[in-house]
Amino acid sequence: MIRTRIAPSPTGKDVHVGSIATALMNYAWAKKNKGQFIIRIEDTDQSRLVPGGEKKMLETLERIGLKADESPLVGGPHAPYRQSERLEIYKKYAEELVAKGKAYYCTCTPDRLTKMREEQQSKKQIPKYDRQCFKNQVEIVKQVKENNVRHVVRLLIPEGKVTFNDLVRGEVTIENQNLDDQVLLKSDGFPTYHLGVVVDDHLMEITHIIRGEEWLPSTPKHIILYKAFGWELPTYAHNSLLRNPDKSKLSKRKNPVWTSEYLEKGIFPEALLNYLALMGWSHPDGKEIFDLDEYVAVFDVKNIQKTAPVFDPVKLDWMNGEYIRQMDDKKLKIRIMDYIGASYPEDLVMKTVPLIKERIKRLSDYLPLTEFIFKSPTIYEVDLKEKKELFEKIVSKLETVSVWTADKIGEAMMVVCEESKTKRGEFFMNVRVAITGKKISPPLNDSMEILGKDESLKRLKSI
């Protein structure tokens, strides 16, 4: 049975798009193998907790369509799925390691650690815990047991090296001497990431850990932990991080990074997923547009790219446009209504759909293009004052149009156009601006049909 997971930390206000990309792979790998996909909240850093962050993250994951089989929301056989609610578990396992001699108590103060590292740095040495407490362990244990001295639990890194086979990177080897005696249990009783992740992944029977490459250097610590406990190792796959155009790690300075920012701009969840799927992976048939089910069917961890991709919002927009054009008009109307809100008349919105479908890339493009449908223009991009005479002719001709449809309107206007000996482009541009206020608009005749005869004539007369 394949089980995968994502383990977001509520230290940001929402899910990072990079996390969605990783979540997508985890989801696909689990589903492809008829396994389970789990969401676990790693809220062990009390100082960096963002209020409301967890709730928002879970909501976004829900909106984006990556449904978890087990999570803090839906529960599951390994509940709780929130690390802050599993504190006794970590404590128990940390104590187990101490008892086994695989970890030790440390009572060093932050001050001493800082000083120690500064000295090491100045001597051009690798900053690493000097094991002072390990050397005095008998005394330290006594202090801890008898006087309940504030302490942490540190992992005792053994000598040797760790080699593991990463599904994306291949064989990776790291010498243990490059590893620090990592703190496992903090003095506030919370576990660090390293302890929490290993204990929970084991307890929750996670088989495949697909995560960002920033974790690659600490994977040996995790493997050492698994071995210290005597647990079976999971399979690792480290995917590359999304980048800014300058190749630095995708950051909010240079790009929107919160997933909901894209959704709020009117990017469809399925388009975002589709785009993200193409970051570091490609469809075996070279297809660009495909849905989640198809992705799940053809995805394979082994085909994940090692190279870090640059996130390109322009291509995302293009892709979203493709989704809009492929969508059924009724469904698109519902999406638009959800986006712009119920204050707009639904039937009117429905009429505009065929007109704007090929013209918008995101839902946020909708209103700027169609607002003239809902209210008269107040600003005109072209000065029409000199054209009063022309408009009078147009109005009197249009008044004779009894069946107010786009083609009849077009025919009538064409007659006036030819009579007035105005160039077509110029003629229609004048009308366009009079009706919509803008030089760029949806098809004119259809727009006038939607507006209705009275409203259209009113606008032409007002020039």
Partner RNA sequence: GGCGCGUUCGUCUAGCGGCCUAGGACGGCAGGUUCUCAUCCUGCAAAUCGCGGGUUCAAAUCCCGCACGCGUCACCA
Q: In the set 247, 330, 385, 421, which binds RNA (CB under 7 A)?
A: 247
β-strand pairing of 3-6 with 36-39: parallel
Q: Looking at 16, 410, 457, 460, which residue binds RNA (CB under 7 A)?
A: 410
Nearer to RNA, 152 or 209 (CB): 152
Which of 42, 70 has the CB closer to RNA?
A: 42
- CA–centroid distance for 298 within its chain: 22
Say how many residues touch RNA, by CB under 7 A.
85
Is position 441 an interface residue for RNA (rule: CB under 7 A)?
A: yes
Residue of 1, 99, 138, 314 that binds RNA (CB under 7 A): 314
Binding track over 209-238 against RNA, x by CB under 7 A:
----xxxxxx--------------------
Report the distance separating Cα 50 and Cα 127, nearest Å.
30
CB 28 within 8 A of CB 299: yes
CA distances from 105 to 72, 112, 140, 192 (A): 32, 16, 7, 15
**Based on CB atoms, which residue is closest to RNA, 282 or 376?**
282
* Tokens of residue 14, six digits: 């929402």
Give least dist CB 339 to RNA, A: 18
- CB count within 10 Å of CB 262 equals 24
- Least gap, CB of 429 to RNA (angstroms): 6
Minimum CB separation of residue 249 from RNA in Å reads 3
CA 400 from centre of chain: 55
Cβ 273 vs Cβ 64: under 8 Å: yes
In whole angstroms, the minimum distance from the beta carbon of 241 to RNA comes to 6
Coil, helix or strand at residue 440: coil
- 57 vs 64, which CB is nearer to RNA? 57
Token pair, residue 369, equals: 């293009």
Nearest approach, Cβ of 188 to RNA (angstroms)? 6
Beta strand pairing call for 103-106 and 183-185: unpaired
Candidate residues 56, 243, 333, 351; the one interacting with RNA per rule CB under 7 A = 243
Which one of residues 26, 36, 44, 60 is an interface residue with RNA (CB under 7 A)?
44
CA dist., res. 321 & res. 25, Å (int): 24
Among 115, 227, 306, 461, binds RNA (CB under 7 A): 306
Site for RNA in 349-388 (CB under 7 A): 358-359
CA distance 198 to 46: 19
Shortest spacing between CB 384 and RNA, in angstroms: 15
Pick the binder of RNA from 96, 109, 149, 392 (CB under 7 A): 109
C-alpha 216, offset from chain centre? 21
**Contact positions with RNA (CB under 7 A) in 249-288:** 249, 278-282, 286, 288
Region binding RNA by CB under 7 A among candidate stretches 208-216, 225-233, 252-260, 335-343: 208-216
Among 84, 220, 214, smallest CA distance to 159 is for 220
- Does 415 bind RNA (CB under 7 A)? Our answer is no
Helices 219-229 & 193-203 angle (0-180, nearest 10): 50
Other C-beta atoms closer than 10 Å to the C-beta of 385 total: 7
Q: How far is the CB of 424 from RNA (least distance, A)?
A: 5
Q: Please give the sequence-ordered ranges of beta strands (E in DSSP) within 226-347, or none if there are none.
A: 235-239
The backbone region for 52, taken as left when phi is positive above 0, alpha when psi lies in -120 to 50, beta otherwise, is: left
Residues 116-155 within binding reach of RNA (CB under 7 A): 117, 124, 126-129, 150, 152
Check the CA dihedral 379-385-389-390 and report its sign. Answer: negative
What positions carry a catalytic annotation?
252
Task: Using alpha carbons, select from 4, 6, 5, 8 the residue that is nearest to residue 54.
Answer: 8
Contact pattern for RNA over residues 72 through 101, marking x by CB under 7 A: ------------------------------
Residue 29 binds RNA (CB under 7 A): no
Nearest approach in angstroms of CB 309 to RNA is 3
Beta-sheet strands, E only, within 36-137: 36-39, 103-106
Among 142, 424, 458, 461, binds RNA (CB under 7 A): 424
Out of 3, 4, 6, 9, name the contact with RNA by CB under 7 A.
9
Closest to RNA by CB, 37 vs 341, is 37
3-class DSSP state of 85: helix
Of residues 395 and 406, the one with the C-beta less far from RNA: 406
Task: Kindly write out the interface string for residues 161-180 of this chain, putting x where it contacts RNA by CB under 7 A and - elsewhere.
Answer: --------xx-xxxx--x-x
Residue from 132, 235, 303, 364 that binds RNA (CB under 7 A)? 303
Query: Which residues from 317-356 bind RNA, rule CB under 7 A?
Result: 318, 321, 325
CA atoms of 146 and 165, how far apart (whole Å): 44
448: nearest Cα among 431, 427, 430, 429 = 431
230 vs 255, beta carbon nearer RNA: 255
